[in-house]
């Protein structure tokens, strides 16, 4: 797959406001936040879209989700709640082809999404 700007963030080639990192997951603040807290959780091993994930990625996807939930809890965001979103390809609104979980918090979310 082609290199994305998220790979460059992982390699520290472009700056990001990193809030969490472990051996498999990196999380940083979205440059164009859609809520008072808007953080992207990405796997260090790039997968282009959710549709490209396979059974081999099961643990990694779970880890991404749990990392977001744990971080939200640690930040005191869990009690009021938050939203996690993963956009897939064009109709899903995906612009960076390296899967990422959006964590949005700090305001009441609306449904359905626009």
**Under the rule (CB under 6 A), what is the footprint of ligand AMP?**
5, 16, 28, 30-32, 40, 87, 93-96
Task: Give the nearest distance from C-beta 25 to ligand AMP in angstroms.
Answer: 15
Gap between the Cα atoms of 59 and 62, Å rounded: 5
Task: Give the nearest distance from C-beta 15 to ligand AMP in angstroms.
Answer: 8
What is the secondary structure of 15-56 as a DSSP string?
A: ---EEEE-SSEEEEE-SS-SSSEEEEEEESS--S-GGG--GG
Gap between the Cα atoms of 15 and 18, Å rounded: 9
* Segment holding 105, helix H or strand E: strand 101-105
Closer to ligand AMP by Cβ: residue 2 or 95: 95
Q: What's the DSSP call for residue 57?
A: G
Closer to ligand AMP by Cβ: residue 19 or 60: 19
Closer to ligand AMP by Cβ: residue 69 or 96: 96
Task: Give the nearest distance from C-beta 85 to ligand AMP in angstroms.
Answer: 7
User: Pick the catalytic residue: 38, 97, 98, 100?
Assistant: 100
Is 102 among the residues known to form the active site? no
Active site residues: 100
């Amino acid at each position: 797959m082609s290199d994305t700007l998220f790979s460059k963030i992982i390699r520290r080639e472009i700056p990001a406001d990193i809030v969490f990192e472990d051996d498999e997951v990196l999380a940083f603040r979205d440059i164009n936040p859609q809520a008072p807290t808007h953080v992207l959780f990405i796997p260090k091993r790039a997968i282009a879209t959710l549709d490209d994930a396979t059974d081999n990625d099961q643990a990694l996807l779970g880890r991404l989700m749990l990392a977001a939930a744990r971080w939200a809890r640690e930040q005191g965001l869990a009690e009021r709640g938050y939203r996690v979103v993963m956009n897939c390809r064009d109709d899903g609104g995906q612009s960076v082809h390296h899967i990422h979980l959006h964590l949005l918090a700090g305001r009441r979310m609306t449904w359905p999404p626009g």
